[in-house]
Amino acid sequence: MLKSVQRLTMLIFARRESAALALLLAIGTLLGLQSETFLTPNNLLNVVRSFSWIAIAAFGESLVIIIGGIDLSVGAVMGLAGLIGARCMQSGMPLLPAIVAGLLTGCLVGWINGTIVGRVRLPPFMVTLGTMSIVRGIAFGLTGGWPIRDLPMAFRLLGRDMELYSVAVPVPVLVMAFLAVVMSLLLTHTVQGTYIYTLGSNERALLVSGVNVAQVKVFVYTLCGLLAAVGGLLMTARLGVAAPTAATGYELDIIAAAVIGGTSLFGGEGSILGVLVGAAVMQVLRNGLVLSGFPAYWQTTVLGTMILLFILLDYWRRRGQV
């Protein structure tokens, strides 16, 4: 009996994503039993919608973490990308160019991060801490601290629901699903994906194989910026307001989603599916804490503890392998 339990535990913890998945199911069941509102389709769709932009940004973040780096500027990039898009629309630009402008903002910040980390070889923590402040500062400077309101309806539709087989699915969730498939394919079925994993686990092996390592790093950071911008634009569309303070502190949630989903902070491991589950865990936990009336001021403590626990779990698993 004890043995089979042990084996089951081993099986669950052998795959990186499964710990988070188990946790998700556990919390979900608990909340479903406790509160009647949690398992209603409406609440569930709400939960999925509210973690969709976090998840999208976390796809990029997880790539950065897989190559052994970290990007602290994602939250600020989400805010600035939404802001630039909104600013362009306000000044009369058509929808599509405005969105592209927002996306390009994300790419640019990511490219700067990647170039400094990859080619100058500075530690990513310091570099992205710097760009985080710079980007947030630009957001404040551009707006003078005031939010941009009255966004065009066409843009705000991106944050609404879409009738799909008579189910109202939020557009951000569709975008998230699409990007999850694309990123999964990139990671598992392309040469670049192989390079990304190898870069995290053994950079030297890649170096002696003649791969342009700096270029891969620039690619990953730029992609991370781009995905953060996608998330930021969708968030802005949903909220209908582009505030310079938007997405403040989201970098923590994004990194947490990646880490809880099994992306290793030591590099070389992680999957998009895991990130999805991780983002879900974060949001469900938040949602559940609110529904169960947990004191609001203490909620961050719970989330922080959760992150720490998962990093410890990853550490133990690694030690077990060695």
Partner 1 sequence: MEALLKAVHISKTFGTLPVVRQVSLEVHPGEVVGLAGQSGSGKSTLAMLLAGLYPPSEGRLYFAGRQLRWPFRARQLGIEVIHQTPDLAEHLDITSNIFLGSEICWPFGWGWLRIPQRRRMDREAARILADLDLPFDSLREKVANLSSEQRQMIAIARTLTRSPRLVIIDDPSLLLSYPYQQKLLSLIQAWQQKGVAVLFSSNNLDHLMAVTDRILVLRYGQCVAEFCTDDASREEIVAAMVGTTDRRQLTPIIWALESYYRAREQAEKLRYSQALLERDLAAQDTINRQLIDQLAEQINALDSANIALQDAQRRLLTELEQERKYLAREIHDQIIQDLLGVNYQLEGIEGDESLSPVLCSKLTEIRGSIRSLVDDLRHICGNLRPPTIDSLGLGAAIQSYTRDWAARTGISVTLDLDPNLGRLPEAIELSVFRIVQEGLHNVRKHAGAANVEVCLKHTSPRTLMVSIADDGRGLPEGFDLSTLPAEGHYGLLSISERVALLGGRLKFQNQSGGGLLIQAEIPHPRVVLPRGD
Task: Give the interface with partner 1 as residue ranges (CB under 8 A).
Answer: 186, 189-192, 194, 197-198, 201-202, 204-212, 219, 268
Nearer to partner 1, 143 or 192 (CB): 192
> Minimum distance from CB of 267 to partner 1 (Å)?
11
Q: Which of 67, 56, 90, 66 lies closest to 229, judged by CA? A: 56
Other C-beta atoms closer than 10 Å to the C-beta of 28 total 18
DSSP state of 279: H
Nearer to partner 1, 35 or 194 (CB): 194
DSSP state of 70: -
> Minimum distance from CB of 203 to partner 1 (Å)?
9
Nearer to partner 1, 19 or 218 (CB): 218
Nearer to partner 1, 51 or 195 (CB): 195
Please name every residue paired with 248 in a beta bridge, in sequence order, or none if there are none.
none
Nearer to partner 1, 197 or 310 (CB): 197
Nearer to partner 1, 86 or 220 (CB): 220
Is residue 45 a contact partner of residue 170, using CB atoms and an 8 Å limit? yes
> Minimum distance from CB of 18 to partner 1 (Å)?
18
> Minimum distance from CB of 280 to partner 1 (Å)?
26
**Residues counted in the chain:** 322
- Give, in order, the Cα–Cα distances in Å from 135 to each of 132, 211, 252: 5, 31, 17
Nearer to partner 1, 39 or 207 (CB): 207
Please name every residue paired with 86 in a beta bridge, in sequence order, or none if there are none.
none
> Minimum distance from CB of 226 to partner 1 (Å)?
13
DSSP-derived 3-state class of residue 163: strand
> Minimum distance from CB of 206 to partner 1 (Å)?
7
DSSP-derived 3-state class of residue 242: strand
DSSP-derived 3-state class of residue 162: strand
Other C-beta atoms closer than 10 Å to the C-beta of 1 total 5
DSSP-derived 3-state class of residue 167: strand
Nearer to partner 1, 207 or 302 (CB): 207
> Minimum distance from CB of 251 to partner 1 (Å)?
25
Q: Which of 110, 119, 115, 116 lies closest to 76, judged by CA? A: 110
H helices of 67-202, in order, are 74-90, 95-115, 124-143, 153-156, 171-189, 191-201
> Minimum distance from CB of 119 to partner 1 (Å)?
11
Helix (H) or strand (E) run with residue 169 in it = strand 167-170
